[in-house]
Amino acid sequence: MQCRGTKATVQTFSDDQLIRLIRAGDKAAFGILYERYRVPLYRFCVRMIGDNDQAADAVHETFLKLYHSAEEINEPALVRVWLYRVARNEVLMALRREHRGVDSNTVWDSETPQTILEQVELSVALEASLQDLKPEYRDILLLREMDGLSYSEIADVTGKSESSVKSRLFKARKALALALAPRLGERRTV
């Protein structure tokens, strides 16, 4: 099994197969894995850090580490978790470098506004509230709600227990709902 010189699609190989090929020096396998995960990782990083350039840097560093560390991935079948863990760490390091303090921990309410103007205002408020969440709450919320990772996968990415992930997710959702409640007014149905 080799993807060099083939027109393999992103779906042709499993993550496990791609890591094994990368370890064997197959650069095309790296390209396939890159195409599979670059957009979801970028979206996660943008939402975590709130800056497109820094998010792109975090994704770049993540894939650079994958390229140089493919041999060190203990469980190739869990490459998705490994990538999110590295991307998360890159974002957290960038936030620390900026000395950016985030002290609010609120979560969003999933109702949609009734008009386009309300949608824009709510979207801006949501993004601002997400940025106000402490990184350790924001990352769990984004990994679950935006990227669809399971509690187990999030626990692996963050190094927390599943119960801690569930607790932080609950607190993040509750905090975001509280932060957005004034904007939602009477449209809120609890």
Distance CA 100, CA 98 (A): 5
Residue 11 has what pLDDT? Answer: 58
- Residues 19 and 92 occupy one common structural domain: yes
How far from the centroid of its chain's Cα atoms is residue 115's Cα?
Answer: 29
- Looking at the structure of the chain, the number of domains it has is 2
Residue 108 covered by a domain = no
Residue 79 covered by a domain = yes
Residue 3 covered by a domain = no
Distance CA 111, CA 86 (A): 32
Distance CA 141, CA 153 (A): 13
Residue 120, domain extent = 116-187
Residue 1 has what pLDDT? Answer: 52
- Residues 86 and 21 occupy one common structural domain: yes
CATH code assigned at 167: 1.10.10.10
Residue 122 has what pLDDT? Answer: 65
SS (H, E, C) 88-145: HHHHHHHHHHHCCCCCCCCCCCCCCCCCHHHHHHHHHHHHHHHHHCCHHHHHHHHHHH
Residue 185 has what pLDDT? Answer: 63
- pTM score, two decimals? 0.56
What averages of pLDDT result for each successive group of 10 residues across the chain (190 residues)? 50 84 89 94 90 93 88 81 91 77 42 48 74 86 88 91 93 87 58
Tell me if 41 sits within 8 A of 128, measured CB to CB.
no
Tell me if 32 sits within 8 A of 3, measured CB to CB.
yes
Tell me if 129 sits within 8 A of 176, measured CB to CB.
yes
Q: Which amino acid is at 182?
A: P
Residue 106 covered by a domain = no
Residue 109 covered by a domain = no
Residue 167 has what pLDDT? Answer: 94
